[in-house]
Amino acid sequence: MQYEKLIINAENKGIEVIENNRIGKLKGLCVNNIITINSNIKTCSEKVCILAEELGHYYTAYGNILDQSKVENRKQERRARAWAYKRLVSISKIIDASKQGIRNKHELAEFLGVSERFLEEAIQYYKDKHGLYYEVDKYIVYFDPMRALEKYQEGGT
């Protein structure tokens, strides 16, 4: 379902999303306003992660960044992945999952519709950016172990 939503959003922005296996070992590729997802990818959760990252490339990168030996290309790759992490594993979605009773990473990945590997990478991204926890509104989101807790407020809720 999430994969289809990303495709619809992409198409509404004039981005064509196609699936085929003509991109070799690459899982996804973004060239101009065409995103290709390797049709050999088996799980929907992996497809959604790849599509989100390729959309991240569309919105944040420029030029050919396939050569990851170049520092600038690695930076652009990092920005694209950060875009995908924020889109699929946002802090607010982590809080929503906690409210729904999600208590471990396996359940969280399933709840968000992402692969466990992608979730681990997203958590590491947030840890690198914020440290061991992040405070937002009336919540504290801990990244290790993964959980969101409502802050105690003097005098009630």
Render 93-107 in DSSP notation, one character per residue.
HHHHHHHTT--SHHH
| pTM for the full predicted model | 0.90
What is the separation of C-alpha 123 from the centre of its chain, rounded to a whole number of angstroms? 10
Residue found under tokens 């990168």: 61
CATH architecture of 1-88: Orthogonal Bundle (1.10)
Please give the pLDDT value at position 19.
96
Contacts of 114-117 with CB under 8 Å at 24 or more apart are 114/45, 114/48, 114/49, 114/88, 114/89, 115/43, 115/45, 115/46, 115/49
Spatial CA neighbour of 120 closest among 89, 154, 152, 83? 89
Please give the pLDDT value at position 61.
81
Q: Which residues of the chain have pLDDT under 50?
A: none
| Helix H or strand E segment including 123 | helix 116-130
Q: Which residues sit opposite 16 in a β-bridge? A: 34
Q: Are 43 and 115 in contact (CB under 8 A)?
A: yes
Structure tokens belonging to residue 130: 């914020």
Domain ranges (residues) in the chain: 1-88, 91-157
Please give the pLDDT value at position 62.
79
